[in-house]
Structure 1
């Protein structure tokens, strides 16, 4: 067994039962890299106070990333990660839906005021009354 294989085995044994690198840690690390790049730009622009503030934020962010990676409280870390994934996926889905609705020129979209359901109707029908399929509320609109 080679040297690097022994190191890899030792790391695997150390990380057993620990949280590791999940989606929330990846997002935190990407944020860390963005802030680090901003700090470098501010450093070269000689903005001393802003650099110190960013250094403090970066230090705190790295502590959080390392704490989450090496934590043995798996249920708590998984709950945090699941909340992040649900929020992020919801944001991505809403954004993709908005882009698709914007690209659709044959239909007009209305949001029900009661249940927030998005209703789709054809363009060019004039003034119509739309009945929400979910809650039955009436929406008067011009298409």
Structure 2
């Protein structure tokens, strides 16, 4: 199973999951899956929506290209996270996009500043410096949308 990292009681993130791993996710009590991969990405599970539905979980796919992310898309994703049944598993190819969205949600819902978010990310093994553009977007979004900033 990919390394599932629990961000909060309601949100966990992972890299790409297999059909077998989706079964395990359902067994662990997750109630929804948010896939941030584009159908054009190599390794995208085209039947993931059907597999997730057959397990009784809610499925949503919102493709995120890290180099094209903007405030409107991030806000759409955060609103969808709020709407999905919890706990929710968010995944992408490597877990980086999923982690960024989960940490943005955490920051805006718990009024954390960027330093607090990056400290928590580091504790969970996320290397935010591996994608400077995504890290900068995350910082800017948190500063604009979190009341503690």
TM (norm. structure 1) is: 0.23
The structure in which a higher percent of residues are helix is: 1
TM (norm. structure 2) is: 0.22
Rg comparison, structure with higher value: 1
